[in-house]
Each structure stands twice: as structure tokens, then as C-alpha cells.
Amino acid sequence: MAQFVNILRGDTAPGFIQRSTINPRFVFDTTAGRYLVLCFFGSARDPKTRAFLKEISGWTDIFDDTFATVFPITADRQDELQKRLPTAPPAHRCILDYDLSVSRAYGSAPVDTAPTEKQVQLQTCWIVLDPGMRVLKRIPIGPDINHTAELKAYLKSLPPPDSFAGVEIMAPVLFLPNVFEPELCQKLIDLYQTSGGTESGFMREENGKTVLRHDHSHKRRRDHIIEDDALCKELQGRVRRRIVPQIHKAYQFNVTRMERYIVSCYSQDEKGHFRAHRDNTTKGTAHRRFAVSINLNSEFEGGEISFPEYGSRSFKPPPGGAVVFSCSLLHAVSPVTKGQRYAFLPFLYDDAAAEIRRKNNTFLSEEVGSYRG
């Protein structure tokens, strides 16, 4: 007898990376911060299935990418080849789950089903997730069930995403003023303005290697690498005295290592920003434990850090102040709309993570470079 994963209300939703109709490597858990609706319909060869897929594409008051986003998930290659998938607005992202990895994780396909099997017993259903990516509801899809009406009524009953928990919730971050003195902040800003910055990219996993990529729609920032050893030690000392003890108190974690000595600039001229991401999702970044964002100035608008899984509230530390958070938290930097935001942005980890970093050298591309310890 086929065995299925039993997805229940309150469960943490499985993350996945899968091809979609608009993205060859769609990272699902970057969409947190709104209600997420997964539609495991199996195949669109049935006219009734195509009809309800067309129906939900008209729910633009619900699926608007702010309140909710829907993900129709097909397991049938012919849906794509025969163009049976609806051409939908941006808040619809069709997932091409031909290997059934997503369907197995969410209990739509049996756990031991191979993607090469011709006859697969699927449990078609809707699964609704809250903005923090936890399961809210499962609604079966069947020929005698008015499932779209039930889904629409349920979604209409939900509160705005910011209040999905019933109260305003706080992202599990540390907000620490007075990490850097004003003089040190100005020293770092002067260094950037004298030396300038180079375009900053981001890490991505491709063909088993961690590679450096640039995409202005995802990230726009310039960085200056600090090469003065004395200044690096000065900065390290501030972090050791003023941040490390707070991390130990709050998270019972002993920081022993620090990565990346850079002064960064998010500029109004370039609409500097960084879309929602996590900092430890590749082999080259898996060792990172905590991210630190220390503002060096305040004369800018926008450029605030937010944590979509915990609401839309954003954070702007005063000059010399820091936001410290786990690298596994989804976070974003809003576009700078006025001025320039200067910041010091290191990562912190420990000796055990350093060994992970060393072992992962073999997975790094040449432009990323190897870790020497």
C-alpha cells in the first residue's frame, strides 16, 4: 500500500528548488512573507482541471503577490509541451515537478514513487502556508468536491499577512546600538569615498560548484575590501567586545571567526537593494552562522533590512548600530531612494564551521577562491 507524507497544520513547510515556467532554478522559500498556496493538480489533461486553473488565474484580488501567491504544480511533462498551463499574472508561478520531489515532500505522491513510473497514484490537493512558511490548511481536489469555493472562502477569511499570527511578531534578531564610535564610522566612510567600490555579486550553486553571479534585479551594491591589517584588527576588536557576548547570551553560540572586512554602499543613483535571500545556501557559504549589518551613517532613505517570514517591519540601526541575525533567516534590503547607505557587513562563525568551510574548498569556482583558514 502506498505511503504518503502526512502534512499537518502547524508543520514547517518543506523548502525546495525546482524548475518553473519562468525560472530554471526557482527557490521556493524566498517567497515567504505572504500566504502561499500550492496546487498539486497532477496533470492538466482533464478539461475540468484546466477550467479551475483558468478560474483561479482571475483571482487577482487574492493572488496579488502581496496578500497571496499561488503555485500550480504539474507532474506531467505534456502540460508544458502541449501548452496546457495557463498564461497567468505574476502572482502565479507554475512549478514543473517532473521528478516528483516536491509532490513527495508534500504528500501528493507516495514517498517511494520513482519519477520514471508511468502510473503514479497522486493525491491532488491545495496546501495553504502562512507567511512564515508553516502549514495552515490542506484541501483535497476531487471531482465531487467544490474545492475552489472552499479555498476562496478560506483565503478571504485570513487576516492581512502582517497579522497572520494574531499579534505583531518580532524577527529573532539582535538590535545593538553603539557598536562603532562615530569617529570609526566616519573613518570607514572616508575610506570608501577615497578608494571607491566595486560591484558586489552573490553566490549561487551551479553544477555542483559555488559561483559568483551578478544580477541587478536581485542585488545592486558596491563594496570596498579593507586590506589594512591594523584597521581589520580594530574592527574585529569592536565585534569581539560588543557583539560576540550578546550572541552568546541570546543564542548560546561561541563566535571565534569573522569573515569579510568590507565597507558597502547602497546608492540612490543605482537604486541599491538586495532582494530576499538567505546567506548560507551554497557550499561556499554553508559555514556562515550569523550576519552583522552595521550602519555607518543615517543620511539616507530606504535601505532598511526586513525579515519577510516575520512581517514587513524593517530595521534601520543608528550610525554605529548593528542588526545581528542568523544567516538562515530570509532577509532583504529595500531600495535606497535618497542618499547613500554605508555599512560594514561581516559574517561570524566558529571553529567547527571553519572546518566545514575548509572541506568545501573543492566545491568553489575559481572566481570565488579557496579558504586557507
What single string gives the DSSP state of each residue in 56-114? HTT-TTTBSSSSEEEEEEE--HHHHHTT-S----TTB--EE-TT-HHHHHTTSS-TT--
- Nearest Cα to Cα of residue 340 among 218, 213, 196: 196
User: What are 148's three cell numbers?
Assistant: 475552489
Give buried/exposed letters for 103-112 (b at 16+ CB in 10 A, else e). Answer: bbbbbbbbee
State whether residue 266 is helix, strand or coil.
strand
pLDDT (0 to 100) of residue 366: 81
Q: CB count, 10 Å around CB of 44?
A: 25
Going by pLDDT thresholds of 50, 70 and 90, the confidence category of residue 351 is very high
Q: Which amino acid is located at 100 in the chain?
A: L
pLDDT (0 to 100) of residue 206: 87
The pLDDT > 90 percentage for the chain reads: 83
User: Cell numbers 530554471 label which residue?
Assistant: 24
Backbone angles phi, psi at 184, to 5 degrees: -70, -40
User: What are 164's three cell numbers?
Assistant: 497572520
User: Cell numbers 568553489 label which residue?
Assistant: 364
Distance CA 124, CA 146 (A): 13
Distance CA 307, CA 312 (A): 7
pLDDT (0 to 100) of residue 121: 84
The arithmetic mean of pLDDT across residues 217-238, rounded, is 97
User: What are 3's three cell numbers?
Assistant: 505511503
pLDDT (0 to 100) of residue 373: 67
Q: Which amino acid is located at 207 in the chain?
A: N
CA torsion sign for 139, 159, 56, 85 is negative
Going by pLDDT thresholds of 50, 70 and 90, the confidence category of residue 207 is confident
Instruction: Give tens-digit pLDDT for 148-174.
Output: 999 999 999 999 999 999 988 899 999
Contacts of 247 (CB under 8 A, 6+ apart): 174, 253, 255, 290, 324, 348
Going by pLDDT thresholds of 50, 70 and 90, the confidence category of residue 115 is low
In angstroms, how far is the first alpha carbon of the chain from the final one?
Answer: 52
Distance CA 46, CA 31 (A): 29
Considering the chain, what is the average pLDDT of its residues? 94
Instruction: Give tens-digit pLDDT for 335-348.
Output: 999 999 999 999 99
pLDDT (0 to 100) of residue 116: 63
Distance CA 165, CA 131 (A): 9
Structural domains of the chain in order of their starting residue, each with its CATH number:
17-163 (3.40.30.10), 174-363 (2.60.120.620)
Quick check: 91 pLDDT over 90? no
